A and B are shown apart, each in its own frame.
Chain A
Amino acid sequence: MSFGFPELAAIRLGFGLSPLMPPPADVDAVLSGPAMAGPGPEAMTTDMARDLATRMRSGLHARREGKPEPPEAVAADRKLGTLPVEDLRRRVIRALDDPIGFGERLVQFWSDHFTIRSVGKANHALALAFVDEAIRPHLNGRFEDMFIAADTHPMMLVYLDQISSRGPGSPFARNRPKRHFGLNENLAREALELHSLGAGAGYGQDDVRELAELLTGLRFSHQHGFAYDPTWAEPGAETVLGRDYGGMRRGGLDDIRAAFRDIARRPETALHLSRKLAVHFVSDDPSPDLVEAMAATWRDSGGDLPQVYRVLASHPDLASGLRQKVRQPFDLCVAGLRALGVRGEQIAALDLPGFRRVAWNPIEVMGQPWGRPKGPDGWPEAADAWIAPQTLAARINWSLRIPRLLLKDLPDPREMLVSAFGGTQSAELAWAVPKAESAAEGVALILASGDFNRR
């Protein structure tokens, strides 16, 4: 059986084929995807997140003083408690209903590149605001704008401890010598190591420390919001990668933005990020030709992401690398629902326990607990990080149970074999599916197969 670019693009750059909609016709159709993945009508904002957190805390204070909790505090507490699950539901729905898929895949990629984790219930809404404010608006623009938005976003400041970093020589620290306020290097280190240049690029501990000093002054609290506070900032110029920022005419946030912009434009960043995109979309071990083509476009265009995406989507490795990547659990879950013809509205109509059974719990057992990566380096890419006895067992169990839970009438496995693979299926799978004892096992065989779990 033959297949072409549309099938390849749907499987490798989107969430797979659907019996409900056609795959993207060409590269231009794929590249029209990211523009549709901006913040939606249900987008969360930092202000809304602060309001929820503040209301929740008013309930805590009331309880501590033995007073009854105000109803709005109870409501905020309840909402924040279920928000991570509702966030996953929202993401599944958008991915399911997206005709192209590439935009939502990029939301996944960039949210993972700039990993955050909502430490504590009070920050659950802020974690959503991070994606809606720092990631989605910049998917289709310049990398440097996303870099600045992400690494100065309140959620990132909280996650990487920037909110407790003060310049040791700042007025704030000097006025309180007994409190030993000092520098926290966490955000500065990850901004260089993970978010831009990459580990092993030519930077040293001095660059990390000076960038950390430059970042002092960034503040966030739910009560007072985001601010640049000069009294927290380390005085004097900081030298990061040989360039000076600040100094006598210290410009606060503008100096921080200037430093991030310079770091984003370095060739090490172009190479690190091009390779990371290629690893995510094409192969755990991408060809130097693909990586260099993307990096060259990145350098020439000043990190203009749509131009880099175009190189990725047009390169011959997109075809030759088919099935070299294992679908991560979230992708598998969406691709499975999509192949079953499930619509977003059906997912929206599930009650909370029902949705947990369909997506939240399974992807956790598959090794990807939603919103809880183990560190700021995010989820792993290598195939063998995802396929082990226990995680494959979880994928097989999902394939056996979830279609029956969601659908009254299962698709005919022989028809699904055509609609889900568009000619890309292996001879082994085509041989095995018609021999299943029941439709349920035939469908499970498709969803659990290597063909389906790879892209």
Chain B
Amino acid sequence: MLTLDRRLFLKGTALIGCSAAAHPLMSSMTFAALPGDNRLVVIILRGAMDGLDAIQPYSDPMLGKLRRNLSVGPKGGALDLDGFFALHPRLEPLLPLWKKGELAFAHAVSTPYRDKRSHFDGQDVLEAGTGNDLPVDRRQGGWLNRLLQAMPEARAETAYSVGVEQMKILAGDAAHLSWAPRAWLKLSPQAQMLLEHVYHDDPLFRDAVQDAVQISAETSDIGKTGGPTADAEALAGFVASRLNAESRIAAFSIPGWDSHANQPAVLGRGLDRLAAAIVKLREGLGANWGRTTVLAMTEFGRTARENGSGGTDHGTGGALLMAGGAIRGGRAFGGWPGLGEGQLYADRDLMPVRDIRAYAGWAMHGLFGIGRDTLERQVFPGLELGGDPGLLA
């Protein structure tokens, strides 16, 4: 009897959890329609991408004084975008998107995280979407999860965390799914029944196995190709397949941006993967690409100066890359703070001119109709959203 009681109790809490996740904000969003047709993909670039090298402000005369070998602009093969900024040569596969208005960026953006420049804390702040008012280890849950909580029609299928890495950006009370394209599970009916019995009182295992069986049944073999960008392409291909079905939100990460030394090789590999992922998303999404917004975000930028090892160290202001048929691309968003004396943050880093959350917030406003109030209080508590940059077409 004890077991039965415990089960009933667990079942009860699970149900309460579900309904709370489905209707957390009945007052503000009761009559919203289905999640709709728009899609949002967030790519976390773990390790701090050097924005000044990915999108090089080559016409700023100070850049060449701070960096002798890195980020030298078109004379080093970078692709001019607008006479001021140039795209790193390894992002060349994305140049056609820029020309079609499907690629954009905002330079000199950051989270509220400052000064300690730790990857782990920086990523935690980026994915939590909170300010500095909470100590790092008290920040629970991610901002995409709180977005789900603000979408009354959201179900578990609405959002996907993709890849073997844990995505804190989707952690929280709202149900969502997670999967790695190369996982696959097939059980005999009896084994499945027994396993479900054994896992019944352990929600962590119970929910995971149910999802694993279901997703295995639904997805074909994706990502059987090889090569250095294969993993990123497999992630993007799986995301596209889910977004073409019932999902509307997906997050995955591309690691490997920590270019303390030999930056051309380190950053080059990362940019190859990023470009391949975006190209694959576009290809896989087909007509749905026109309703898709991709945000590629990193925890912070890197030092404005080149270091002694042909690399750059942890900095502050970074770059946000945006892609998708839904955006008003082919342009740079936001202001340029300059790289001259007194213009750098702590005399070393690109000065942030806008909170990266403001761009994500306005994207969610445009894609899912999330109100300003909800964004500033629930999704990004404490954020001042500021004016609409007009990201979406």
Per the CB 8 Å criterion, the residue count for chain A at the interface is 56
Roughly how many angstroms separate A383 CA and B177 CA in the complex, as a whole number? 17
Q: Are A184 and B120 in contact (CB under 8 A)?
A: no
Q: Are A383 and B179 in contact (CB under 8 A)?
A: no
Roughly how many angstroms separate A205 CA and B115 CA in the complex, as a whole number? 7
Question: At the interface, yes or no: B205 with Cβ under 8 Å from chain A?
Answer: yes
Question: At the interface, yes or no: A396 with Cβ under 8 Å from chain B?
Answer: yes
Q: Are A394 and B188 in contact (CB under 8 A)?
A: no
Q: Of the candidates B68, B164, B198, which one forms a contact with A445 in the assembled complex, judged by CB atoms under 8 Å apart?
A: B198
The 8 A CB mask of A333-359 against B (1 = contact, 0 = none) is 000000000000000000000000000
Roughly how many angstroms separate A451 CA and B211 CA in the complex, as a whole number? 20
Q: Are A428 and B191 in contact (CB under 8 A)?
A: no
**CB-defined contacts of A165 to chain B, threshold 8 Å:** 308-309
Roughly how many angstroms separate A204 CA and B186 CA in the complex, as a whole number? 52
Roughly how many angstroms separate A60 CA and B163 CA in the complex, as a whole number? 36
Question: At the interface, yes or no: B194 with Cβ under 8 Å from chain A?
Answer: yes
**CB-defined contacts of B311 to chain A, threshold 8 Å:** 161
Q: Please give the distance in Å from A442's CB to the nearest CB on chain B.
A: 9
Question: At the interface, yes or no: A429 with Cβ under 8 Å from chain B?
Answer: yes
Knowing A180-B306, A389-B211, A435-B194 touch, does A164 contact B183 (C-beta < 8 A)?
Answer: no
**CB-defined contacts of B202 to chain A, threshold 8 Å:** 450
**CB-defined contacts of B313 to chain A, threshold 8 Å:** 184-186
Q: Are B309 and A161 in contact (CB under 8 A)?
A: yes
**CB-defined contacts of A445 to chain B, threshold 8 Å:** 191, 194-195, 198
Roughly how many angstroms separate A451 CA and B179 CA in the complex, as a whole number? 23
The 8 A CB mask of A427-452 against B (1 = contact, 0 = none) is 11101100111000100110011110
Question: At the interface, yes or no: B383 with Cβ under 8 Å from chain A?
Answer: no
Q: Are B208 and A164 in contact (CB under 8 A)?
A: no
- Interface size class of chain B, counting residues whose CB lies under 8 Å from the partner chain: 35 or more
Q: Please give the distance in Å from B213's CB to the nearest CB on chain A.
A: 8
Q: Please give the distance in Å from B232's CB to the nearest CB on chain A.
A: 15
Question: At the interface, yes or no: B216 with Cβ under 8 Å from chain A?
Answer: yes
The 8 A CB mask of B206-228 against A (1 = contact, 0 = none) is 00110110011000000000000
Interface segment among A2-10, A258-266, A308-316, A374-382: the answer is A374-382
Question: At the interface, yes or no: A385 with Cβ under 8 Å from chain B?
Answer: yes
Question: At the interface, yes or no: B119 with Cβ under 8 Å from chain A?
Answer: yes
Question: At the interface, yes or no: A193 with Cβ under 8 Å from chain B?
Answer: yes
The 8 A CB mask of A111-151 against B (1 = contact, 0 = none) is 00000000000000000000000000000000000000000
**CB-defined contacts of B81 to chain A, threshold 8 Å:** none
Roughly how many angstroms separate A173 CA and B161 CA in the complex, as a whole number? 47
**CB-defined contacts of B117 to chain A, threshold 8 Å:** 189, 205
Question: At the interface, yes or no: A182 with Cβ under 8 Å from chain B?
Answer: yes
Roughly how many angstroms separate A435 CA and B197 CA in the complex, as a whole number? 11
**CB-defined contacts of A397 to chain B, threshold 8 Å:** 184-185
The 8 A CB mask of B178-192 against A (1 = contact, 0 = none) is 111011110110110
- The secondary structure that dominates the A interface is helix
**CB-defined contacts of A437 to chain B, threshold 8 Å:** 188, 190-191
Q: Are B118 and A441 in contact (CB under 8 A)?
A: no
Closest to A161 in B: B260
**CB-defined contacts of A193 to chain B, threshold 8 Å:** 116, 118
Roughly how many angstroms separate A336 CA and B164 CA in the complex, as a whole number? 22
Roughly how many angstroms separate A432 CA and B191 CA in the complex, as a whole number? 9
Q: Please give the distance in Å from A440's CB to the nearest CB on chain B.
A: 9
Among A167-191, those with CB < 8 Å from B are 173, 179-186, 189
Knowing A387-B204, A449-B198 touch, does A393 contact B184 (C-beta < 8 A)?
Answer: yes
**CB-defined contacts of B184 to chain A, threshold 8 Å:** 393, 397
Q: Are A182 and B308 in contact (CB under 8 A)?
A: yes
**CB-defined contacts of A375 to chain B, threshold 8 Å:** 46-47, 119-120, 255, 258
Q: Of the candidates B116, B183, B199, B201, which one forms a contact with A389 in the assembled complex, judged by CB atoms under 8 Å apart?
A: B183
Q: Are B183 and A390 in contact (CB under 8 A)?
A: yes
**CB-defined contacts of A365 to chain B, threshold 8 Å:** 164, 180, 182-183
Question: At the interface, yes or no: B165 with Cβ under 8 Å from chain A?
Answer: yes
Roughly how many angstroms separate A384 CA and B161 CA in the complex, as a whole number? 13
**CB-defined contacts of A394 to chain B, threshold 8 Å:** 183
Knowing A390-B179, A392-B212 touch, does A164 contact B185 (C-beta < 8 A)?
Answer: no
Q: Of the candidates A389, A390, A441, which one forms a contact with B190 in the assembled complex, judged by CB atoms under 8 Å apart?
A: A441
Q: Are A448 and B195 in contact (CB under 8 A)?
A: yes
Roughly how many angstroms separate A205 CA and B121 CA in the complex, as a whole number? 15
Closest to B204 in A: A387
Q: Please give the distance in Å from A232's CB to the nearest CB on chain B.
A: 10
Knowing A387-B205, A393-B183 touch, does A166 contact B191 (C-beta < 8 A)?
Answer: no
Most buried by A among B179, B260, B306: B260
Q: Of the candidates A184, A200, A389, which one forms a contact with B135 in the assembled complex, judged by CB atoms under 8 Å apart?
A: A200
Question: At the interface, yes or no: B307 with Cβ under 8 Å from chain A?
Answer: yes
Q: Are B3 and A184 in contact (CB under 8 A)?
A: no
Among A201-216, those with CB < 8 Å from B are 205
**CB-defined contacts of B211 to chain A, threshold 8 Å:** 389
Roughly how many angstroms separate A193 CA and B124 CA in the complex, as a whole number? 15
Roughly how many angstroms separate A429 CA and B68 CA in the complex, as a whole number? 65
Question: At the interface, yes or no: B25 with Cβ under 8 Å from chain A?
Answer: no
Q: Are A205 and B116 in contact (CB under 8 A)?
A: yes
Roughly how many angstroms separate A180 CA and B182 CA in the complex, as a whole number? 45
Q: Please give the distance in Å from A416's CB to the nearest CB on chain B.
A: 14
Knowing A165-B308, A450-B205 touch, does A200 contact B194 (C-beta < 8 A)?
Answer: no
Closest to B178 in A: A388
The 8 A CB mask of B258-281 against A (1 = contact, 0 = none) is 101100000000000000000000
Knowing A183-B308, A388-B178, A389-B183 touch, does A374 contact B255 (C-beta < 8 A)?
Answer: yes
Roughly how many angstroms separate A231 CA and B190 CA in the complex, as a whole number? 70
Roughly how many angstroms separate A391 CA and B190 CA in the complex, as a whole number? 21
Q: Are A389 and B209 in contact (CB under 8 A)?
A: yes
Q: Are A393 and B212 in contact (CB under 8 A)?
A: yes
**CB-defined contacts of A385 to chain B, threshold 8 Å:** 166
Q: Please give the distance in Å from A41's CB to the nearest CB on chain B.
A: 36
Among B283-326, those with CB < 8 Å from A are 306-309, 311, 313-314
Roughly how many angstroms separate A374 CA and B261 CA in the complex, as a whole number? 17
**CB-defined contacts of B187 to chain A, threshold 8 Å:** 396
Q: Please give the distance in Å from B115's CB to the nearest CB on chain A.
A: 6
**CB-defined contacts of B306 to chain A, threshold 8 Å:** 180
Knowing A428-B200, A453-B205 touch, does A180 contact B308 (C-beta < 8 A)?
Answer: yes
**CB-defined contacts of B133 to chain A, threshold 8 Å:** none
Question: At the interface, yes or no: B136 with Cβ under 8 Å from chain A?
Answer: yes
Q: Please give the distance in Å from A266's CB to the nearest CB on chain B.
A: 18
| B interface residues, Cβ below 8 angstroms from A | 3, 46-47, 68, 115-121, 135-137, 161, 164-166, 171, 177-180, 182-185, 187-188, 190-191, 194-195, 197-202, 204-205, 208-209, 211-212, 215-216, 255, 258, 260-261, 306-309, 311, 313-314
Given A387-B205, A432-B195, list of 17 further CB < 8 A pairs? A180-B68, A184-B261, A189-B117, A199-B121, A375-B119, A384-B171, A388-B208, A389-B208, A391-B183, A393-B212, A393-B216, A396-B195, A426-B201, A432-B198, A436-B190, A445-B195, A449-B198
Q: List 16 A-B contacts (CB under 8 A).
A: A165-B309, A185-B314, A199-B136, A200-B137, A205-B116, A205-B117, A377-B120, A384-B166, A390-B180, A393-B212, A397-B184, A427-B3, A432-B195, A437-B191, A444-B191, A445-B195
| A interface residues, Cβ below 8 angstroms from B | 161, 164-166, 173, 179-186, 189, 193, 199-200, 205, 326, 365, 367, 374-375, 377, 380, 383-385, 387-394, 396-397, 400, 426-429, 431-432, 435-437, 441, 444-445, 448-451, 453
